[in-house]
């Protein structure tokens, strides 16, 4: 099996070619540079930040921002669980698709048993 090169995707020729420009390209480039300079975003106007390896950030805590506290507050324990103390609901019935339904005093549980999928 041989390996084929896809046209235009070859890495054998690394020679840079001069880009072909239209006749009015220099004028258009000059207008574009003037437009960028008028807005202050031309590459010659942009500030170039050089990050040095030796610069160490200052981690001082002398700024007077938001005051903090050193108090430790007690942790609240688990709340009391809700428990039904009435006498209307007699039990729970499970219908199709695990749908749990409360059964009241006047309801007939046989009706819920018939509602199951057969």
Q: What is the pLDDT of residues 51-101, one digit of tens each?
A: 666 777 777 766 667 777 778 888 888 888 888 888 998 888 887 777 888
Instruction: Answer whether residue 56 is part of any domain.
Output: no
DSSP state of 88: S
Residue 26 is predicted with a pLDDT of 92
Q: 69: which 2 tokens?
A: 């506290």
Instruction: Answer whether residue 24 is part of any domain.
Output: no
89 Cβ neighbours under 8 A, 6+ residues apart: 102, 103, 104, 105
Instruction: Answer whether residue 55 is part of any domain.
Output: no
Number of separate domains in the chain? 1
Range of the domain at 113: 88-118
Instruction: Answer whether residue 113 is part of any domain.
Output: yes
CA dist 104 and 92 (Å) reads 9
Overall pTM > 0.85: no
């Amino acid at each position: 099996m041989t390996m084929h090169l896809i046209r235009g995707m070859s890495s054998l020729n690394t020679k840079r070619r001069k880009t072909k420009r239209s006749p009015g390209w220099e004028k258009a480039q000059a207008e574009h540079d003037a437009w960028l300079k008028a807005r202050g975003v031309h590459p010659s106007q942009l500030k170039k930040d050089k990050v040095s390896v030796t610069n160490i950030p200052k981690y001082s805590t002398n700024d007077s921002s938001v005051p903090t506290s050193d108090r430790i507050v007690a942790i609240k324990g688990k709340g009391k669980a809700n428990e039904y103390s009435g006498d209307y609901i007699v039990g729970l019935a499970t219908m199709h698709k695990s749908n749990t339904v409360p059964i009241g005093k006047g309801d007939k549980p046989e009706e819920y048993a018939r509602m199951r999928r057969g």
